[in-house]
């Protein structure tokens, strides 16, 4: 299982980015196996790296295609663990006291 943290934001737009984030999250929810939103980014699980990149690409392009958006910065942090099937929940349980 691949776990990735994703942040997609237009540059030079309104201070309130929630509308852009909602559009990106809608795609990530549809195209990944699990999608969790937090205050600073979105964390997803996918079975393959190709699934991850396809979902992120679609979300990136959705935000870039919104009215008045001419530039988007997308950040991705990937945890691609191959020795066991770790999930978002497993990672949280490992550090929860």
Q: Is the pLDDT of residue 87 over 80?
A: yes
pTM value is 0.90
- So where are the chain's domains? 2-95
Record: fold of 2-95: Alpha-Beta Plaits (3.30.70)
What is the per-residue burial (b if ≥16 Cβ within 10 Å, else e) of 36-67? Answer: beeeebbbbbbeeeebbeebbeebbebbeeee
Q: Is the pLDDT of residue 13 over 90?
A: no
pLDDT 10s digits, 17-67: 889 999 999 999 999 999 999 999 999 999 999 999 999 999 999 999 999
94: alpha, beta or left? (left if phi > 0; alpha if psi -120 to 50): alpha
Confidence of residue 71 (pLDDT cuts 50, 70, 90): very high
Q: Is the pLDDT of residue 77 over 80?
A: yes
Residues 24 and 26: their CA atoms lie apart, in Å, by 5
Measured in whole angstroms, the distance separating CA 52 from the mean position of its chain's CA atoms is 9
Burial class (CB in 10 A: 0-12, 13-18, 19+), 88: middle
């Amino acid at each position: 299982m691949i776990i990735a943290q994703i942040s997609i934001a237009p540059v030079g737009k309104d201070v309130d980015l929630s509308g852009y984030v909602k559009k990106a999250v809608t795609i990530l929810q549809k195209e990944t196996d699990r999608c969790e939103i937090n205050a600073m980014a979105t964390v997803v699980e996918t079975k393959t790296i190709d699934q991850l990149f396809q979902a992120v690409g679609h979300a990136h392009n959705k935000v870039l295609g919104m009215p008045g958006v001419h530039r988007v910065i997308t950040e991705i942090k990937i945890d691609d663990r191959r020795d066991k099937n770790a999930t978002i929940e497993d990672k949280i349980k490992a550090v929860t006291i």
